[in-house]
C-alpha cells in the first residue's frame, strides 16, 4: 500500500514536471503580485464571496507551492520561507476539486490580471497531470473514451445515421417549401465540411441557412465535441481531432466550419494545429463567422420584423474571450432584432455561465456549478430580456438549467436557430 | 434468443441533448444490480452511435436499440 502511494506521488511529480513548463510555473509565480484583481473577476467568488480558497490566485498557489519545492533553489533550501510544499497523495486528490470542480477555465482572471498571469494554464497543467494519473472525473474520461470508440466503429451505425439525416432533410424541405433542399453527406470537393454536434438543433438550422445561401457544403459522420480537451489530455484530444482533419482531407474541402460549440471551436481552431507537423490544407472557421459573412454580403436575407422579443446575447468564453468572436454575433443580431439588451459586463469581460471546462457534463458537481452560475443568472435577469441567445451548446445547457434554478423565465436558443426563424 | 427481459429501471431521456442522455445512463447503471436491464427512450439521434460506444467502453451490453420517431434502447449492467 505504501509502495502504491509512493508510486502515485512519484508519478505525479514526473507528470507535473512534463506539463508544468518553467514559463507557466515559476515565471507565473514570480509575476503574480497578489493584487487580488483575479479574485474579484472570478465567478466562483462573485457567487459566494466568502470562500477565498476557490479564488484563482489561491487555486494556482496550491499547485505552484509544489512546483517551487522541486524547482526553485530558495524553496528547496528554505521551504517555510516560500510556502513550498511536498507533493502528497492527499494533495493530488485535493487538486481534483481545485482544477476540475472549482475552475471552468474561462480565462476571465487572466484578462483582468494586470500582468497577464495565465492561471487557467496552471489549472490545465494540473488537469492534465491528474488525467494521466487516472484521477480525473470519471464522467469526463468516459465521454472522451466513448467519442473515440464511436469514431472507431462508424460503420456500425452508418445506416441509422444516414436515415436520421434523410428524415431531417424531409423536415427541412417542408420548412423551406422546397423539395430540392438538401443535407449533403460526405460529398467530395464541397466548399466546406460542416461539423455539427449530434443533436438536430445544430444540423437543421445550419442546413436551412446553407441552402438559402446556395452553399457548396457537406456534413459527415463526425461531430465536433472534444471531451479530451476538458481532461487536457492531448493524446485523447488529438485522436478526436484526427477524425475531422482526416475527413476534411479525404473529402478535399476548402474549409472546416465548426458549429456553435465553444470548446470544439477553440480546440480545433487554436489548440489542435500545433499537434500536427504539417499545416492543414483547409481553413477553419466557426458557423457564426460564416453567417456573419452571408448577411454582410447579402447572400442570405432576414426579415427584420420577424423577431419581436427582446434579446440578450451571452458571450461564450471560448468563442468571445478566447477566440475573438465578439462583433460577429452582434452584427448578425442587429440585422434581425430590434430590441437587443447587452449584459454588463460583456464581450471579452463577459462572466462565465459556470458550465465551462466540462462542468456541465459532470453531475457530480451540479450544485457547485449552479451556484457558480448565479452571477450569470443575475446578469440575464438585469437585462429583463425575453430571450437569451447562447452561441455555444455547453453554455446553452447551463443557461437552461440556470433558467429553471433561478426562475429566470427566459427562452434560451442558439444563434443559427434564431436566424433560421427569420430567413426570407 | 426469445429470453424474457425484466426491466429494472426506465428512463425518459426525450428532449435531452448530447451528452446528457449518456451522462444519465452512466449514472443510472450504477443504481441497478449486475445482470439487470435499463430501458430508456430518447430523441437525440446521437444516442444511436453513443449508446453502443458507451457500452463498449464501459463494459456493459446493449440488449436492443430501436429507432422511429423516438429511440428506445435497453442496456444490461455487466460489471
Instruction: Show which of A295, A313, A339 is a domain's final residue.
Output: A295
Shared domain check, A242 and A95: no
Shared domain check, A345 and A216: no
Supply the residues of B annotated as catalytic. 18
Angle at alpha carbon of residue A41, lines to A37 and A45, rounded to 5°:
105
With beta carbons less than 8 A apart as the criterion, state whether A149 and B53 touch.
Answer: yes
Shared domain check, A272 and A153: yes
Instruction: Show which of A80, A108, A135 is a domain's final residue.
Output: A135
Mean pLDDT of chain A: 93
What would the mean pLDDT of A189-217 be, rounded to a whole number? 96
pLDDT in tens, A151-192: 777 887 788 889 889 999 999 999 999 999 999 999 999 999
Q: What is the DSSP letter of A359?
A: G
Q: Which chain B residue shows the shortest CA-CA distance from A227?
A: B19
Shared domain check, A118 and A54: yes
Spans in chain B with pLDDT lower than 70? 1-3
Shared domain check, A342 and A227: no
Give the full edge-to-edge strand order of the sheet including B7-13: B7-13, B37-42, B71-76, B61-67
* Residue A135 CB burial class (10 angstroms; 0-12, 13-18, ≥19): buried
**Rounded alpha-carbon distances, angstroms, from residue A154 to A183, A220, A315:** 19, 11, 34
Instruction: Show which of A84, A103, A135 is a domain's final residue.
Output: A135
Say if strands B37-42 and B71-76 run parallel, antiparallel, or are unpaired. Answer: antiparallel
pLDDT for the residue numbered A156: 77
Q: Does B56 sit within 8 Å of A153, measured CB to CB?
A: yes
pLDDT in tens, A61-93: 999 889 888 888 888 899 999 889 999 999 999
Shared domain check, A400 and A327: yes
With beta carbons less than 8 A apart as the criterion, state whether B56 and A153 touch.
Answer: yes
Rounded Cα distance between B79 and B65, Å, is: 20
Tell me the nearest-neighbour CA distance from A198 into chain B, angstroms: 5
Q: Which three cell numbers stand for residue A180?
A: 430540392
B70 touches chain A (CB under 8 A): no
B6 touches chain A (CB under 8 A): no
Query: Positive or negative CA dihedral for A255, A261, A263, A264?
Result: negative
Q: Does B52 sit within 8 Å of A153, measured CB to CB?
A: yes
Shared domain check, A330 and A290: no
| Packing angle, helices B47-58 and A158-176, rounded to 10 | 150
Listed range (A138-142, A225-229, B49-53) with the worst mean pLDDT: B49-53
pLDDT for the residue numbered B49: 86
Q: Which residues of A touch B50 (CB under 8 A)?
A: 146, 150, 198
What is the DSSP annotation of A302-335?
A: B-TTTB-S-EEEEPPIIIIITT--SHHHHHHHHH
Q: What is the ipTM of this complex?
A: 0.89
**Rounded alpha-carbon distances, angstroms, from residue A118 to A91, A112, A121, B23:** 22, 10, 5, 31
Name A307's bridge partners.
A337
Shared domain check, A233 and A246: yes
Q: Does A139 sit within 8 Å of B26, measured CB to CB?
A: yes
pLDDT in tens, A301-351: 999 999 999 999 999 999 999 999 999 999 999 999 999 999 999 999 999
Shared domain check, A286 and A225: yes
Q: Does A198 sit within 8 Å of B18, measured CB to CB?
A: yes
Q: What is the DSSP letter of A371?
A: H
Q: Which residues of A touch B75 (CB under 8 A)?
A: none
Q: Does A199 sit within 8 Å of B17, measured CB to CB?
A: yes
Shared domain check, A166 and A268: yes
* Residue A17 CB burial class (10 angstroms; 0-12, 13-18, ≥19): middle
pLDDT in tens, A24-65: 666 666 788 889 999 999 999 999 877 889 999 999 999 988
Q: Which residues contact B36 (CB under 8 A, 6 or more apart)?
A: B6, B8, B9, B76, B77
Q: Which residues of A touch B44 (CB under 8 A)?
A: 198-200
Q: How many separate helices (H) and strands (E) can be counted in chain A?
A: 21, 7
Q: Which domains are present in chain B? A: 7-76 (3.30.110.40)
B52 touches chain A (CB under 8 A): yes
What is the DSSP annotation of B16-36?
A: --TTHHHHHHHHHGGGS-TT-
With beta carbons less than 8 A apart as the criterion, state whether A372 and A407 touch.
Answer: no
What would the mean pLDDT of A9-36 be, rounded to a whole number? 80
Q: Does A157 sit within 8 Å of B18, measured CB to CB?
A: no
The CATH number of residue A30's host domain is 1.10.1060
pTM exceeds cut of 0.80: yes
> Which of the pair, A73 or A420, is modelled with greater confidence?
A420
Shared domain check, A264 and A162: yes
What would the mean pLDDT of A268-280 be, rounded to a whole number? 97
From the list A139, A160, A363, which residue is nearest B48 (CB)?
A: A160
The CATH number of residue A247's host domain is 3.40.50
From the list A200, A201, A363, which residue is nearest B23 (CB)?
A: A363
With beta carbons less than 8 A apart as the criterion, state whether B79 and B35 touch.
Answer: no
Grid look-up 433560421 returns: A420
Q: Which chain B residue shows the shortest CA-CA distance from A358?
A: B19
What would the mean pLDDT of A254-269 be, rounded to a whole number? 98
Q: Which residues of A touch B19 (CB under 8 A)?
A: 143, 225, 227, 361
pLDDT for the residue numbered B1: 47
B62 touches chain A (CB under 8 A): no
What would the mean pLDDT of A210-232 be, rounded to a whole number? 96
Measured distance between the N- and C-terminal CA atoms of chain B, rounded to whole angstroms: 22
What is the domain extent for residue A43? 2-135
Q: Does A143 sit within 8 Å of B56, measured CB to CB?
A: no
Rounded Cα distance between A221 and A228, Å, is: 19
Q: What is the DSSP letter of A51?
A: -
Q: Which chain A residue shows the shortest CA-CA distance from B67?
A: A160
From the list B17, B23, B52, which residue is nearest A156 (CB)?
A: B52
Give the number of domains in chain A.
3
Shared domain check, A144 and A93: no
Best to test chain B binding among A140, A155, A157, A183 (most B CBs inside 10 Å): A157
Coil vs helix vs strand at A217: strand
From the list A139, A146, A397, which residue is nearest B50 (CB)?
A: A146
Amino acid at each position: 500500500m505504501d509502495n502504491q502511494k509512493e508510486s502515485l506521488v512519484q508519478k505525479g511529480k514526473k507528470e507535473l514536471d512534463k506539463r508544468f513548463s518553467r514559463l507557466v510555473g515559476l515565471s507565473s509565480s514570480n509575476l503574480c503580485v497578489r493584487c487580488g484583481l483575479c479574485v474579484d473577476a472570478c465567478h466562483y467568488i462573485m457567487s459566494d464571496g466568502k470562500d477565498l480558497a476557490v479564488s484563482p490566485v489561491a487555486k494556482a498557489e496550491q499547485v505552484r507551492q509544489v512546483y517551487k519545492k522541486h524547482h526553485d533553489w530558495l524553496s528547496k533550501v528554505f521551504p517555510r520561507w516560500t510556502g513550498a510544499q511536498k507533493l502528497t497523495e492527499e494533495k493530488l486528490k485535493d487538486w481534483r476539486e481545485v482544477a476540475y470542480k472549482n475552475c471552468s477555465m474561462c480565462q476571465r482572471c487572466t484578462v483582468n490580471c494586470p500582468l497577464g498571469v495565465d492561471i487557467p494554464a496552471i489549472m490545465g497543467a494540473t488537469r492534465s497531470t491528474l488525467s494521466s494519473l487516472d484521477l480525473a472525473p470519471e464522467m469526463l474520461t468516459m465521454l472522451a473514451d466513448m467519442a473515440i470508440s464511436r469514431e472507431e466503429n462508424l460503420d456500425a451505425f452508418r445506416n441509422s445515421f444516414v436515415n436520421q439525416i434523410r428524415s431531417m432533410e424531409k423536415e427541412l424541405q417542408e420548412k423551406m417549401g422546397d423539395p430540392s433542399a438538401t443535407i449533403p453527406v460526405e460529398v467530395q470537393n464541397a466548399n466546406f465540411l460542416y461539423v455539427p454536434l449530434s443533436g438536430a438543433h445544430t444540423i437543421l438550422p445550419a442546413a436551412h441557412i446553407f441552402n438559402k445561401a446556395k452553399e457548396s457544403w457537406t456534413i459527415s459522420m463526425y461531430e465536433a465535441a472534444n471531451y479530451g480537451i476538458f481532461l487536457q489530455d492531448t493524446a485523447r484530444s488529438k485522436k478526436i481531432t484526427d477524425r475531422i482533419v482526416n475527413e476534411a482531407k479525404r473529402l478535399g474541402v476548402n474549409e472546416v466550419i465548426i458549429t456553435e460549440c465553444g470548446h470544439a471551436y477553440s480546440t480545433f481552431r487554436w489548440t489542435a494545429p500545433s499537434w500536427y507537423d504539417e499545416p492543414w490544407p483547409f481553413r477553419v472557421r466557426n458557423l457564426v463567422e460564416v453567417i456573419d459573412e452571408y448577411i454582410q454580403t447579402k447572400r442570405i436575407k432576414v426579415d427584420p420584423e420577424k423577431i419581436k422579443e427582446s434579446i440578450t446575447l451571452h458571450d461564450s468564453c471560448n468563442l468571445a474571450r478566447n477566440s475573438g468572436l465578439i462583433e460577429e454575433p452582434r452584427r448578425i443580431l442587429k440585422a434581425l432584432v430590434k430590441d437587443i439588451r447587452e449584459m454588463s459586463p460583456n464581450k471579452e469581460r463577459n462572466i462565465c455561465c459556470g458550465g465551462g471546462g466540462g462542468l456541465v457534463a459532470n453531475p457530480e458537481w451540479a450544485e457547485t456549478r449552479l451556484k457558480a452560475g448565479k452571477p450569470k443568472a443575475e446578469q440575464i435577469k438585469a437585462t429583463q430580456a425575453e430571450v437569451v441567445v447562447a452561441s455555444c451548446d455547453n453554455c446553452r445547457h447551463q443557461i437552461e438549467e440556470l433558467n429553471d434554478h433561478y426562475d429566470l423565465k427566459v427562452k434560451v436558443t442558439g444563434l443559427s436557430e434564431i436566424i433560421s426563424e427569420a430567413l426570407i | 434468443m426469445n429470453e424474457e427481459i425484466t426491466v429494472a429501471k426506465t428512463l425518459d431521456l426525450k428532449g435531452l441533448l448530447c451528452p446528457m442522455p449518456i451522462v444519465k445512463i452512466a449514472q443510472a447503471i450504477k443504481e441497478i444490480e449486475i445482470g439487470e436491464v435499463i430501458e430508456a427512450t430518447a430523441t437525440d439521434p446521437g444516442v444511436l452511435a453513443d449508446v453502443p460506444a458507451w457500452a463498449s467502453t464501459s463494459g456493459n451490453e446493449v440488449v436492443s436499440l430501436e429507432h422511429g420517431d423516438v429511440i428506445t434502447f435497453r442496456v444490461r449492467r455487466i460489471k
